[in-house]
Structure 1
Amino acid sequence: MRLRNAFLVLAAATGLAAASLSMSTAAVPAPQPGGLGRYDITGTYVSGLSSGGYLANQLHVAYSGLFQGAGIFSAGAYDCAQNNLNTALYACMDTYQVRKTPAELEQLTRNRAAAGSVDSPQNLAGDPVWLFHGGADQTVDRVVNDDLATYYRDFGARVAYNNTTAAGHAWVSPIGSNSCGSTSSPYVNKCGTSDPVGEMLGHLFGQVNPAASALSGKLVQFDQSGYVPGGNAAAVSMGREGFAYVPRACETGPCKLMVTLHGCYQYYGLVGNALMDKGYLNEYADTNNMIVLYPQVTTMAGNPRGCWDWWGYQSAQYALKTGPQMTAVVNMVKAMSGGQPPTTTTTQPVPECVTASNYAHTTAGRAYAVAGQTYATGSGQALGLWNTFTSSSVRQTSPNYWVKC
């Protein structure tokens, strides 16, 4: 939905327009009060929609030594908003204002890594990243989502990008409650027989078993305050309750951990268990040894729609390792993995660099020349003069996509 007046602008800034919600009987189990237990976690991943997608990217970038891959529905590149609501509104959702280019945000990431405020972006090389943008999504512009794909590819991540489904601004699932092109509460859509969730998990994990037809695990409801800096979840716009779906097999055996972050207007206090029930993650969790952690945000001053902090409404450090919401989620992850980073699973090897003259790069298809200058194929990164004397080093991060080493 386009921004037509001040009210709609605010709604878009925080994510999604309000709509009535028809609650249905959930297939997900009733929550059981308890705490986050320790498990044998073999790998940690993060996924999210909209504001949750932005936070998923922030977590993956800031804690790239901890998170091994990301699945993101409809969001832009790391810290696009630059701690400014107007920039978030007009540059990182709509594009009426100039936004930072992926290259500029990549350099910002490197600078922050050098200062120790985020992990080294070298950790992103080889990580699986799955991205989604619906053809009917008018909340976050396609070119903003394209920036996220470029950002990840330039750091060497293995990117898969689904941008051909005619979906609205929503999480898309085979059991979604809304029509495919809808942008309305509870923002879980169904697009025929397509299964983006299975597609996402298959890319992140390499392969997946078919989803379960009925759930056998438990849904744990825990107090989030114990993981928040200062011990007050509401102070950082997080809800009192968080949730974790734990399959029976994960009680005693090794499992992966998926952190899933809801979008604006999609938090538990407003839509109940809609995402946990219809998101189709638990069904895959049961058959693929995967725990799903569902942290929750709520509303506060500056955040009336219950969005994750991706523009600085709660803290100017929102995109750093010291960001309060980021710290809280990571504290949950560490608690579930026994306080230690999870064991690293086997990943694809980082592509090797190819060093050659710029002329040789162009004849091999690794680069192209324009007006005497050479540019990497796919990324368009400048490599210098086009001749046999100027050399550069590039590597291929996906088919026909080359970046500087």
Structure 2
Amino acid sequence: MRLRNALVVLAAVTGLAAASLSISLAAVPPPQPGTLTRYDITGTYVSGVSSGGYLANQLHVAYSSVFQGAGIFSAGAYDCAQNNLNTALYACMDTFQARKTPAELEQLTRNRAAAGTLDPPQNLSGDPVWLFHGSADDTVARVVNDDLATYYRDFGARVAYNNTTAAGHAWVSPIGPNACGATASPYVNKCGIDVVREMLGHLTGPVNAAASALSGKLVQFDQNAYVPGGNAASVSMGREGFAYVPRSCETGPCKLMVTLHGCYQYFGLVGNALLVSAYLNEYADTNNMIVLYPQATTMTGNPRGCWDWWGYQSPQYALKTGPQMTAVMNMVKALSAGGPPPTTTTTTTTTTPPVSECVTASNYAHTVAGRAYVTLGQTYALGSHQSLGLWNTFTTSTLRQASPNHWVKC
């Protein structure tokens, strides 16, 4: 059962590799410490896999006036999780629980746009969107990915959807280290086809052949400069981010591709597999495109380094004001306008929230209501992660809400 994935893949599924492609394999240059500086950006796109695919969709929807298209491997429709870990696990990966329909999420998008927390969804009309779901992917259910296709189509986006390749849960690349059907670290698979070229062709138009030797530089920058408050770790982002800048972009116009890794795939845990093996740098070099690789990391409530698509760090995670969303957008603005965002001083008024009433219920009922979550048969309070015992209808616990999305024992 897919519950054991618990937001990331914990088991390997082997598959047969397809016939090999004739490809160019270019070594990534060593990172050079630096900052994000201004380039002549002519178009901005976003791509991602798994949790990075969810964040890519959030960015595209929230900032549809900035992003002109999206490429997404294995994710669901905008804010499927509804700020609830159980919904994320059991409705937006598995389908044991009911999830919001695309029509309901489309109306949610309109409502938020009317309130000014998202850009107008009319901007999505005509945008190129490329989606991928492998037929061997049992981490995110196919019907969840189908919802994403419906969501985009209903807003008038030009959707291309590859759902016939026998891939596991992964980014698919001609130089991926894993077999096509695998679902295992580092989640970059080789399937005998070049879906990266397919994706870029749909998003940006005809593409030149990939480079066999990279001419550009890999910039390693401090992500603290782009995170609200200046503390990347506080929003589950790593200290270092990366950007591949082709030599041609130093003097001429270029496109920008923001690429977001999945869970367990950030730079510090499984290394630089996506940065090295996504096959984007090779196309960037010959197609005048900068690739930005922001990096998430672990924190309490996010032990596997996922991007925030269910509210582990902030209930605003899917809005323009979401901390990770703001950080990535600050990076995009720096590459488009130059330099990190100015430092601002804000005054915060602290108020003491009222103490909520204690709720006594079975551990099963707590999880269904979003007050707790389950891992390996044990129940934990949402937010505080206090142990509540076995997950069943017989074991009871008493909880109260200490703050939004944070429950503690009474």
TM-score between both structures, scaled by the size of structure 2? 0.78
For 2:155, the equivalent position in structure 1 comes to 155
CA distance in 2, matches of 1:246, 1:235: 28
1:63 Cα deviation after fit: 0.3
Identity of aligned residues (%): 85
Q: Which runs of 5+ in 1 are unaligned?
A: 20-24, 341-405
Q: How many residues align?
A: 327
For 1:333, the equivalent position in structure 2 comes to 332
One-letter amino acid matched to 2:210:
A
1:14 Cα deviation after fit: 2.5
CA distance in 2, matches of 1:333, 1:154: 27
Is the CA contact 1:14–1:304 (under 8 Å) kept in the aligned structure 2? Answer: no
CA distance in 1, matches of 2:26, 2:127: 34
One-letter amino acid matched to 1:16:
V
Bigger mean CA offset, 142-151 vs 209-218: 209-218
One-letter amino acid matched to 2:321:
T
CA distance in 1, matches of 2:338, 2:116: 21
Is the CA contact 1:14–1:303 (under 8 Å) kept in the aligned structure 2? Answer: no
Q: What pairs with 1:299-378 in structure 2 (closer than 5 Å)?
A: 299-338=298-337
**Are 2:189 and 1:189 aligned?**
yes
Q: Which runs of 5+ in 2 are unaligned?
A: 13-24, 340-410
Q: What pairs with 1:3-402 in structure 2 (closer than 5 Å)?
A: 3=3, 8=4, 12-17=5-10, 27-192=27-192, 194-338=193-337
One-letter amino acid matched to 1:166:
A
One-letter amino acid matched to 1:280:
Y
Name the SS of the counterpart of 1:129 in structure 2: strand
1:74 Cα deviation after fit: 0.1
Name the SS of the counterpart of 1:32 in structure 2: strand
For 1:350, the equivalent position in structure 2 comes to none
CA distance in 1, matches of 2:7, 2:93: 10
CA distance in 1, matches of 2:194, 2:28: 19
For 2:386, the equivalent position in structure 1 comes to none
Cα deviation 1:357-398 (Å, max 9, x = unaligned):
xxxxxxxxxxxxxxxxxxxxxxxxxxxxxxxxxxxxxxxxxx
Is the CA contact 2:226–2:327 (under 8 Å) kept in the aligned structure 1? Answer: yes
Structure 1 residues 26, 242: CA separation in 2 closer, same or farther (over 3 Å shift)?
farther
Is the CA contact 1:18–1:265 (under 8 Å) kept in the aligned structure 2? Answer: no
Name the SS of the counterpart of 1:293 in structure 2: strand
One-letter amino acid matched to 1:242:
G
One-letter amino acid matched to 2:307:
W
CA distance in 1, matches of 2:205, 2:262: 26
Name the SS of the counterpart of 1:46 in structure 2: strand
One-letter amino acid matched to 2:308:
D
Is the CA contact 2:45–2:70 (under 8 Å) kept in the aligned structure 1? Answer: yes
Is the CA contact 1:14–1:306 (under 8 Å) kept in the aligned structure 2? Answer: no
CA distance in 2, matches of 1:103, 1:339: 39
Name the SS of the counterpart of 2:94 in structure 1: coil
1:13 Cα deviation after fit: 3.3
One-letter amino acid matched to 1:266:
Q
CA distance in 2, matches of 1:26, 1:274: 14
Cα deviation 1:46-103 (Å, max 9, x = unaligned):
0000000000000000000000000000000000000000000000000000000000
CA distance in 2, matches of 1:81, 1:264: 16
Name the SS of the counterpart of 1:268 in structure 2: coil
Name the SS of the counterpart of 1:243 in structure 2: strand
CA distance in 1, matches of 2:143, 2:72: 15
Structure 1 residues 213, 26: CA separation in 2 closer, same or farther (over 3 Å shift)?
closer
CA distance in 2, matches of 1:63, 1:325: 13
Structure 1 residues 26, 290: CA separation in 2 closer, same or farther (over 3 Å shift)?
closer
1:339 Cα deviation after fit: 5.7
Kindly report structure 1 stretches of 4+ aligned residues shifted beyond 3 Å.
none
Name the SS of the counterpart of 1:68 in structure 2: strand
For 1:349, the equivalent position in structure 2 comes to none
Name the SS of the counterpart of 1:116 in structure 2: coil
Structure 1 residues 339, 123: CA separation in 2 closer, same or farther (over 3 Å shift)?
farther
Name the SS of the counterpart of 1:159 in structure 2: strand
Name the SS of the counterpart of 1:230 in structure 2: helix
Quote the RMSD (CA, aligned, Å): 1.4
1:301 Cα deviation after fit: 0.3
TM-score between both structures, scaled by the size of structure 1? 0.79
One-letter amino acid matched to 1:116:
G
Name the SS of the counterpart of 1:83 in structure 2: coil
For 1:2, the equivalent position in structure 2 comes to 2
Cα deviation 1:314-342 (Å, max 9, x = unaligned):
000000000000000000000000169xx
CA distance in 1, matches of 2:147, 2:225: 36
Is the CA contact 2:59–2:325 (under 8 Å) kept in the aligned structure 1? Answer: yes
One-letter amino acid matched to 1:189:
N
CA distance in 1, matches of 2:82, 2:273: 31
Is the CA contact 1:13–1:85 (under 8 Å) kept in the aligned structure 2? Answer: no
For 1:386, the equivalent position in structure 2 comes to none
CA distance in 1, matches of 2:275, 2:71: 16
CA distance in 2, matches of 1:270, 1:41: 31
Cα deviation 1:25-47 (Å, max 9, x = unaligned):
98211100010111000000000
For 2:372, the equivalent position in structure 1 comes to none
CA distance in 1, matches of 2:46, 2:223: 18
Name the SS of the counterpart of 2:284 in structure 1: helix
1:2 Cα deviation after fit: 2.2
CA distance in 1, matches of 2:8, 2:122: 31
